[in-house]
A and B are shown apart, each in its own frame.
Chain A
Amino acid sequence: MAILTLTIDDQPVSGTETETLLEVARQHGIEIPTLCHLDGLTDVGACRLCLVEIEGASRLQPACTTRLQEGMVVRTNTERLQRYRRTIVEMLASEGNHHCAVCVSNNHCELQDLAYTVGLQYVRVPYLYPAKTLDATHKDFVIDRDRCILCSRCVRVCHEVEGAHTWDIAGRGIGCEIISDLKQPWGQSTTCTSCGKCVLVCPTGALFEKGATVAEMEKRTEFLRYIVNARQRREWNPDLLHEE
């Protein structure tokens, strides 16, 4: 595959045409904030935090879904981008009912981290105080929709990696919410395997393990890359297991 060269933030970098700007930037130590992206899941370009400027392009493009092109000149951290990112985080903060001080994920939350990264000082828009629900009917896990930012990582991991497709998004616009099966209580879901992957990939405290108290819920996401790579490269060929 041909090697393409381009510049990101004045730094010359290279990669292949199947790689995204985000991947190549990270390989070269350039940090671009993300939220809906997770290594190992299909990218959807939904949170818009990874938007970058590309010279000659009429619009900002999400680094997570944009493939490399020869000679691209990319900027990832201009004053304008910083301002937009701050406003987007502000919107996410105002959309839910976030009470970090009493949250299981306090200090281990990607939304909270982002607020710091983008330098969010205060939220200028009014809180929407939506009436969201908490579902603790599952034997091991809880979903607190007050803290959900609709990144859809749980939906994707359940579909793409576990293959159960218990979760999906219902409704539309500001009324969107994560649901299990036919919006049944999670504990009554006939498709959930209780594998817990959704809990591990959730960036906030919306999905957590029962019994976790304030600031105790730490998430792990590395397992994902590991499973996905093994599958793609057929490192765990089921036949091999039989042969052994």
Chain B
Amino acid sequence: MTVEELHELADRERERQAGVRHRVLYCSAAGCVSCGSHATRDAFKAAFTRRGLTESEVVGTGCMGLCGQGPLVKIHDDGVLYERVDAGLAHRIVDEHLVEGRPVAEHQLDAASPFFASQVKIVLENCGRIDATRIEEYIAVGGYEALARAVAELKPQEVVEEVRKSGLRGRGGAGYPTGLKWDIARKAPAEQKYVICNADEGDPGAFMDRSVLEGDPHRVLEGMAIAGYAIGASQGYIYVRAEYPLAIERLKLAIRQAERHGVLGSRIFESGFHFRIDLRIGAGAFVCGEETALIRSIQGRRGRPQPRPPYPSERGLFGAPTVINNVETLANIAPILRHGSAWFAALGTPRSPGTKVFALAGKIRRTGLIEVPMGIPLRRIIFEIGGGTPEGTEFKAAQTGGPSGGCIPAEHLDLPVDYEALATVGSIMGSGGLIVMDSTSNMVDVARFFMEFSRDESCGKCAPCRVGTVHMHDLLRKIARGRATADDVALLEELCETVKETSLCGLGQSAPNPVLSTLRFFRAEYDALLGPVEVFTPSNPLARGRGPGGS
């Protein structure tokens, strides 16, 4: 297709939508579906038929944010948002709001409340706004404009430069500057290069990437195609976890539509640029989120990490230069090209520009998906947006970064959310899981929980992580059961240091973080569980000519 055809398509779709009498958007993401949003949809359809409102439509969208209050419904005509919409309420909304013009006040959500007002939406701008199964709706809100412009007007080098100037940093956890990564891959001399979208979203308790893939898949495809153009790749892969069947289905559909409309495939926008995207489905291994392991997995192998250097941008998939980016990183690319790098760089903080999507969960009143500017203090996220902890309990810690991150106590809640600030308190930004713990949470057991996760997910390649996570977990369990002494805690700390410093990949290197951060801020909880020091009889099984236990 040509750029003109893209614009025509956008106009046609906008006209079509303007001609619809009532447009009701319901959330069809996992959270609301499990609260019964399909029944809600059917009720709206039935109510339209009952009232003879034939030219009205009910549209399934991506996550609307307040997952704990689903099913959520938005009336497109006037922007009114409703919570807990069951079938009965659907009929009432049609009768009272759409027909008689009186919104159902008790279920209406206040758009001026801090939950909505404190958010800035870039990555999630279309989530809850468009039908993810129709490319036309994405195009109608400006979709594929950025790709068209890049291909028609910019040199690959200029695209890289624009991304570099925006200051965008990788949202997969480590925060590596995306422009730099692309530049290395662009300069690497090779016939074949690849772009990989990391949609493995391994952090248990996080669902940001999933929401983007389900609610706005074309945004990710567009970002990948732009990356492909910038570095000179003609093939992309999306590595998505098997636990996300809906995201897989939406991506497949989106790729087919994009190919049919000529925004993916050969001669994109009538240029010499070709780009294909294929899906690769994970098979349940957290370590495959690590880039070198992910690459091995795409090649059909055990997901065992490789030493870096060489970095994937020099030698990655099938030995070729490969850019591997997180879903959210790629979702930022099209807006950066559309609005310019200066616009993006002005958002957030100078070191960490832009926004970050967080999945709020745990002991917090409003659970769900939010997008906030970088630099916002944690306190505002938890208390203003999230509404604080439930009645009768007190905030104790916020956990970011999942099994690789740490627990941030109340005294550090005024820290701004950016990569460096979170690192100063021993946590990491991570991919965006934010779990709140209250006074009922036992921090030693929290550390044990994460260590159990790392132990079970260790690939087993390198000795410190394979064996160290087992010992650290056993020690934590011993402490939690009140059977440990101060010596055990000292040993635990030493193991933490060795595993952190000597493990091969990020899994082992960061597995001790939850222990170190709880030891740092909640040491009293450990100490309260310790017993008196026992006399220890050492042994060495490797002594020449002696058996184990040194008998």
Contact = CB atoms under 8 A, between A and B. Distances in A.
Asked whether any CB of A lies within 8 Å of a CB of B in the complex, the reply is: yes
Interface of A: 44-48, 51, 59-62, 65, 83-84, 87-89, 91-95, 97-102, 106-107, 111-112, 115, 120-128, 149-150, 169, 171-176
Contacts of B470: 128, 174
A48 B498 CA distance: 11
B467 A99 contact: no
Contacts of A122: 538-540
A69 B498 CA distance: 26
A124 B538 contact: yes
A169 B302 contact: yes
B467 A91 contact: yes
A173 B458 contact: yes
Interface in B259-292: 285
A66 to B, nearest CB: 8
Contacts of B463: 46-48, 88, 91-92, 95, 149-150
A174 B459 CA distance: 8
Given A51-B502, A112-B542, A98 B548 contact: yes
19 contacts: A45-B307, A47-B463, A59-B509, A87-B464, A88-B463, A91-B463, A91-B471, A94-B471, A106-B545, A115-B540, A115-B542, A123-B539, A127-B541, A171-B460, A172-B460, A174-B466, A174-B469, A174-B470, A176-B466
Given A100-B542, A175-B460, A92 B467 contact: yes
A78 B536 CA distance: 28
Contact of B467 (A65, A95, A106): A95
A47 B462 contact: yes
A100 B544 contact: yes
A48 B503 contact: yes
B426 to A, nearest CB: 17
B501 interface: yes
The 5 closest A-B pairs by CB, nearest first: A122-B538, A176-B460, A91-B467, A45-B307, A115-B542
Given A51-B502, A87-B498, A174 B544 contact: no
A48 B302 contact: no
B502 A84 contact: yes
A169 B466 CA distance: 14
B547 A99 contact: yes
A173 B455 contact: yes
Contacts of A176: 460, 466
Contact of B498 (A44, A84, A94, A123): A84
A154 to B, nearest CB: 15
User: Which of the four size classes fits the interface of chain B?
Assistant: 35 or more
Contact of A60 (B502, B539, B544): B502
Contacts of B540: 93, 115, 120-123
A110 B471 CA distance: 23
B461 interface: yes
B458 A172 contact: yes
B16 interface: no
A61, A65, A83, A87: which has the most chain B beta carbons within 10 Å? A87
Contacts of A89: 542
A95 to B, nearest CB: 5
Contacts of A87: 464, 494-495, 498
A55 to B, nearest CB: 16
Given A84-B502, A88-B463, A94-B471, A101 B542 contact: no
Nearest to B540: A122
B354 interface: no
A45 B504 contact: yes
Contacts of A111: 542
Given A61-B307, A97-B548, A100-B546, 12 more contacts: A46-B461, A46-B463, A46-B504, A59-B509, A87-B498, A95-B463, A99-B547, A112-B544, A115-B542, A120-B540, A126-B474, A173-B457
Contacts of B455: 173-174
B105 interface: no
B464 A48 contact: yes
Interface string B93-110: 000000000000000000
B501 A44 contact: no
B464 A174 contact: no
A61 B547 CA distance: 35
A141 B306 CA distance: 31
